[in-house]
A = this chain, B = another copy of it.
Amino acid sequence: METILKNDLILRAARGENIERYPVWLMRQAGRILPEYRAVRSSLSGFKELVETPKYAAEVTIQPVDILGVDAAIIFSDILVVPEAMGLEYQMIEQKGPWFEKTIKSEADLHLAEVDFDIEDRLGYVLEAIKLTNKELNGRVPLIGFAGAPWTIFCYMVEGKGSKTFSESRKMLYTNPTLSHQLLDRITNVTIKYLKAQIKAGAHMLQLFDSWAGILGTDQYREFSLKYIQKIADAINEVPLTIFSKGAINSLEEIALSKCNTIGLDWNMDIAEFRSKIGETRTIQGNLDPCALYSTHTQIESLTNNLLDSFTSKRHIVNLGHGVYPDVDPDKVKTFINTVKQYNIKY
């Protein structure tokens, strides 16, 4: 039996229904900004133990709901659980980021990216964390599930680590487009199964993160990223879907044609301009500069109100334009959230 949600504001905003006020949450809200998170994290062997232990993942997922008062929880996990489930194990190296021992460089490596496996078997820990979180949230707010967009996951599977240019991954688009599409297809198939499993486990809403969208020109973005995002969007009908393609400024209108509910904007994108182009067809999520939270409380109130004043529609979910930076004072985050909550919608 499904628990009835006491606060379904973000779901109504995503569907373009009536809302009393704008809903607000933060990308990376469960994480290093909270001392309560750091306490849990430091009691464990590392980041991966936290991701892989449903009890702890649920605990840090709920922390920002209790402490910050956000209108949604987002399951604590990592986009890299998908390539790992496909067969490429990763390590999270402190101060450096992810590192994969095996990578996909040629056709001979393609078999390393498995596609026919049981999601419950390899990613059951995420599904368990979703169930546990919902049980403990008891309907206080909706729970957001997520995955990386295929292009972004492709970058890690080819490159094996973070990069400024991801030139190895972009190189493959030129030197071996066939292999590129084969790998992107595999990632897409697994991602659809994984997101469907998240919905079944209880995710009320989903977000696709295309963190490296901005390194592709418009044509390559269309062929190697958006095409696969659209396949996923076509397959997900049960819950609202948000697409966040960081840096894809030139492709926003095309992204908005996908069968999704919400488009996330980064802090360099112009909400008013985008709204004028897409009208009321989609909800817009974002996009305060995460660095604005380094300002004084008074400045944060003013910057947040300016952002909300720029809206000309109800179809908004308020968020930062990027994940909250780890050294931001949680009290500053509260000021941002409370300012949004106190704001009177004009429409």
CB distance from A16 to the nearest CB of B (A): 26
A165 near B322: Cβ-Cβ < 8 Å: yes
A268 near B218: Cβ-Cβ < 8 Å: yes
Tell whether A291 is near chain B: CB-to-CB under 8 Å. Answer: yes
Please report the C-alpha to C-alpha distance between residue A216 and residue B270 in the assembled complex, in whole angstroms.
12
CB distance from A251 to the nearest CB of B (A): 10
Q: How many copies does the complex hold?
A: 2
Tell whether A267 is near chain B: CB-to-CB under 8 Å. Answer: yes
Tell whether A117 is near chain B: CB-to-CB under 8 Å. Answer: no
Tell whether A236 is near chain B: CB-to-CB under 8 Å. Answer: no
Tell whether A178 is near chain B: CB-to-CB under 8 Å. Answer: no
Please report the C-alpha to C-alpha distance between residue A81 and residue B295 in the assembled complex, in whole angstroms.
32
Q: A268 with B217: in contact, given A249-B249, A291-B170, A291-B174 (CB under 8 Å)?
A: yes
Query: A289 contacts which of B217, B270, B299, B325 (Cβ < 8 Å)?
Result: B217
Q: For A290, give the chain B residue with the smallest CB separation.
A: B167
Please report the C-alpha to C-alpha distance between residue A220 and residue B291 in the assembled complex, in whole angstroms.
12
**B-side contacts of A289, CB under 8 Å:** 170, 217, 220
A residues 170-219 touching B (CB-CB < 8 Å)? 170-171, 173-175, 214-218
**B-side contacts of A247, CB under 8 Å:** 214, 247
Interface residues of A (CB under 8 A from B): 162, 164-165, 167, 170-171, 173-175, 214-218, 220, 247, 249-250, 267-270, 289-292, 294-295, 299, 322, 325
**B-side contacts of A175, CB under 8 Å:** 294-295
Please report the C-alpha to C-alpha distance between residue A25 and residue B114 in the assembled complex, in whole angstroms.
44
B167 near A214: Cβ-Cβ < 8 Å: no
Q: A294 with B217: in contact, given A249-B250, A250-B270 (CB under 8 Å)?
A: no
Q: A174 with B295: in contact, given A165-B325, A167-B290, A217-B289 (CB under 8 Å)?
A: yes
B167 near A325: Cβ-Cβ < 8 Å: yes
**B-side contacts of A220, CB under 8 Å:** 289
**B-side contacts of A214, CB under 8 Å:** 214, 247, 268
A174 near B292: Cβ-Cβ < 8 Å: yes
20 more contacts with CB within 8 A, not counting A167-B325, A171-B291, A249-B250, are A162-B164, A164-B164, A170-B289, A170-B291, A171-B294, A174-B291, A174-B292, A174-B295, A174-B299, A175-B294, A214-B214, A214-B247, A215-B268, A216-B268, A217-B267, A217-B289, A218-B270, A247-B247, A250-B268, A250-B269
The listed residue with most B CB atoms (<10 A of its CB), out of A170, A247, A295, is: A170
B294 near A174: Cβ-Cβ < 8 Å: yes
**B-side contacts of A165, CB under 8 Å:** 322, 325
Please report the C-alpha to C-alpha distance between residue A247 and residue B250 in the assembled complex, in whole angstroms.
11
The listed residue with most B CB atoms (<10 A of its CB), out of A164, A217, A325, is: A217
Return 22 A-B CB contacts under 8 Å, by A number. A164-B164, A165-B325, A167-B290, A167-B291, A170-B289, A171-B294, A173-B291, A174-B294, A174-B295, A174-B299, A175-B294, A175-B295, A214-B214, A214-B247, A214-B268, A217-B289, A218-B268, A218-B270, A247-B247, A249-B249, A249-B250, A250-B270
